[in-house]
Amino acid sequence: GAGVSQSPSNKVTEKGKDVELRCDPISGHTALYWYRQSLGQGLEFLIYFQGNSAPDKSGLPSDRFSAERTGGSVSTLTIQRTQQEDSAVYLCASSFSGTRTDTQYFGPGTRLTVL
């Protein structure tokens, strides 16, 4: 079946602009995660959605970052007033039930470059 998909694959924006990144998880997966991969920080957790529960936002680096998950499926990560340090690859992952033994399946990522 189809894996996790993300769009766009690349995004170049100017400092101060807002960007939206999209993630389509694997059908039937109840848990969805956002991570960021950058040279200086490695792979960092950002936010976690599980079913209809309130999301775990503990990894979001600032209030410029927010995410939604509509209808328990597609998710959008929004970065407002982008800064150069936001440049990174943003990865989305999904898992069947969100438990600690579950495998997380990753999308190809969105490479964000802030000029």
Q: For residues 40-79, which are near other proteins according to CB under 8 A?
A: 42-43, 45, 48, 50, 56, 58-59
Taking CB under 8 A as the rule, does residue 25 contact other proteins?
no
Rounded to 5 degrees, φ, ψ at 99 are -85, 170
Distance CA 18, CA 33 (A): 21
The answer to whether the CB of 29 falls within 8 A of the CB of 73 is no
Q: How far is the CB of 17 from other proteins (least distance, A)?
A: 26
CB of 69 to other proteins, least distance (A): 15
Q: Are 47 and 33 in contact (CB under 8 A)?
A: yes
DSSP state of 61: -
Q: How far is the CB of 81 from other proteins (least distance, A)?
A: 25
**Distance from C-alpha of 30 to C-alpha of 25, rounded to nearest angstrom:** 9
- The residue range among 16-24, 60-68, 71-79, 96-104 that interacts with other proteins, by the rule CB under 8 A, is 96-104
**Residues at the site binding other proteins, with contacts judged by CB under 8 A:** 31, 33, 35, 42-43, 45, 48, 50, 56, 58-59, 91, 93, 98-109
